[in-house]
Amino acid sequence: MGYPVGRRQLLAGAALCLSGCATPSSKPARLNLAKLHASMDRITQITVCTRPFREAGPRFDVEKIGAKIVVHNYGHGGSGWSLSWGSAALVVPKAMAAGERDIAVIGCGAIGLTTALLLQRAGAKVTIYAKELPPNVRSSLASGIWSPDSRICFEREATPEFKKNWEFMCRHSYRTYQSLLGLAGDPVEYIDAIGVRDELVRQRPIHPPDPRPQFAELDSELTPDLSVRAEEFAPGEHSLGLHYLRRGKSLMFNIPAYSRLLMSDFLQFGGKIEIAEFHSPADFARLPQNTLVNCTGYGARQLFGDSTVHPVRGQLAHLIPQPEVGYALFYKGISFIPRRDGLVFQVFHNDYYGFDDDGTAPDRGEAEEAVGSIASLFA
């Protein structure tokens, strides 16, 4: 995840620029990158989260539970931040259609906050009910890169109707993020996204056929007008030695600043937050609101018994920030993202890496693999 930047293309070093124009920027005579200080003694913490991959993709249907109308908005895999605004735009009309103007949102992650804000803009009075708030929600542990088709559904589930919804979410979210650029604290910003290869032509490893379902690839097929040509750099044309680089642009979410912005806007518009925990849908009966939007992410697996939601373990190694570094690197199944709150490094060798793994214990060896792999580019 051609472009919006997507997971598979990043792994292949094909990070392109998202733009409404079609003219690439002029290629510099030499690409000199600020040196990255990637070493084990600069690791400040290791965090682990479980992304909510749902086999059929995000759930947007409406159901009646007792006296309550519940609109679902969960199961975005690795694309929660990227598709959040478009996802909210799909479900808000369904919630407002019930005629209620006092609406509850269950969950306070990326999906819950954006849904709550769009409900407010539609004229609703909104209360968020959540067990935890940022920075202690799963969304706060994401890597922070624009990845709108990162493990969003299985290929077999990518029906024409799903693709239509995905394209809407992608385009709506992308337009919204343009309005958030340049704000104090840089909650959203563009960075250089650089794919690194050891050979001019990337050699695909030969593996036995994988009998497991394939993940959908959507971006290059449905949003070609968002793509511009990336720039290629051969050895000698850049500062990373004997490698081949492909440089484009990607959106990056500085998650702490961005979460604070969303929370501040929600409260400023009169929103309320109550700490609450729900063990079954029957618990919704105690809420005063009759219309609820379920934005519980991975929590929906247990809360609603949705066994098609799978955990996908993702671990980040956080290093001391380097303000002068404004580029991301993708090399041999390792990503490096230069967030303002600290550099983050992640291993994701393939789509099934971390799949069905709900473990949250930090793995120091995996962290050192991620940091060491990127550090080797500067050796």
Q: How far is residue 79 CA from its own chain's centroid?
A: 4
Query: Which ranges constitute the DSSP H helices of 6-79?
Result: 7-11
- H or E element that contains 368: helix 364-375
What are the residue boundaries of the structural domains of the chain, listed by start?
A: 7-20+36-204+231-378
* pTM of the predicted protein model: 0.92
CB 213 within 8 A of CB 154: yes
Torsion, CA 206, CA 207, CA 210, CA 213, rounded to 10: -50
Q: 115-169 pLDDT, tens per residue?
A: 999 999 999 999 999 999 999 999 999 999 999 999 999 999 999 999 999 999 9
Predicted confidence (pLDDT) at residue 173 exceeds the cutoff of 80: yes
Other C-beta atoms lying within 10 Å of the C-beta of residue 320:
12
Other C-beta atoms lying within 10 Å of the C-beta of residue 178:
12
- % of residues, the chain, pLDDT over 90: 84
- Please state which of the four CATH numbers 3.40.50, 1.10.3470, 1.10.10, 3.50.50 is assigned to the domain occupying 7-20+36-204+231-378: 3.50.50
Residue 260: the pLDDT is 97
Distance CA(166)–CA(79), nearest Å, equals 11
- If you search the block for the tokens 């929590």, which residue do you land on? 299
Within 13 Å, how many C-alpha atoms sit on residue 248's CB side?
Answer: 28
Q: 289-304 pLDDT, tens per residue?
A: 999 999 999 999 999 9
